[in-house]
Structure 1
Amino acid sequence: MSGDISDELVGLLPRLRRFAMGLTGDSSEADDLVQQACEKALRKQHQWQPGTRLDSWMYRIIQTTRIDNVRSRRGDTASLETSQIPEARDRRSEHASENQNMLDQVSRILDQLPEDQRAVMVLVAVEEHSYQEVSKILEIPVGTVMSRLYRARARVQSELGMTMPAKTVVERT
């Protein structure tokens, strides 16, 4: 690579948007967040180290940009509307309405999670990153990733009326 990350960045856009959507809960805000992050990345591409994961670097930029945006306008809240995530809909299943109802419930619960737990949940459960990768992306210890993920999963399961097994941790490698 010649130092220009533009082409790689274009390929990452769907994943970046999905991550931003998980953080913001609003498609318009997610698009704005991804655009801001891409602008920052292109302006500061000299700071990216070739040979490292561009997606991890971009997730971190998105998260810090989100934090900055929230701090600058305290009080705004967003709701994740599952109708804004068409790829999450199950149209082929004979249980589509039940599945959609469950997805709606989970989305509402995720909206209520603290943002630090939601970010970990999206990176592990949606983007399928390992705990180590999430630790590097968010610049937090692996133990903190595990703790936030456990609390997020416990809250989701509790709200759904499910019971969570006693501290069972399965790590993706």
Structure 2
Amino acid sequence: MTKTQSEQLKAMLPVLRRFAYSLTGSMADADDLLQNTVEKLLTKPVPDDVELLAWSYRICRNLWIDEYRANKVRQAAVHNPELQQAEVDATAQITSDITLKQVESAMATLPDDQREVLSLVAVQGLSYQDTANVLSVPSGTVMSRLARARSKLAQILFLEKGTKGPNGNEVTA
């Protein structure tokens, strides 16, 4: 690119940027498109019989079309049920793993009597009466310990005041 073409290109940048914005509708995307256009203009020779501005518009438009088509292909892949299911499964598994680790960690901070009751009722699925029989305590004690354990877990897992707990109610620490 000759010095005059380089100077012309510098002078055209605001015009090309507005054109890129008109194509993309986003300043961030327009700046990316402008950068790719300038890169292409600097690396590829401009034909002698073509005006630089017209050539720049053509390159910018062609790059945008290429990106638009690539995005359509990506969007079609995203809407592919097989790919979505794999993504949902992976996300659910990661969330489940994180949640399980958080709950295990939170349970470890509970006093032994509360952890035992919570484990027997919530994890093992025993009734209050069966839990009371296993621990040799009255069923009212089981309910009291369970309530305290659940409250403490909620405080640990949802530390910030005003954070919504799993039942949608506000949890206060």
TM interval, shorter chain, is: 0.3 to 0.5
Which of 1 and 2 has higher RCO (CA within 8 Å, sep 6+)?
A: 1
Larger Rg: 2
TM-score, normalising length: structure 2 = 0.40
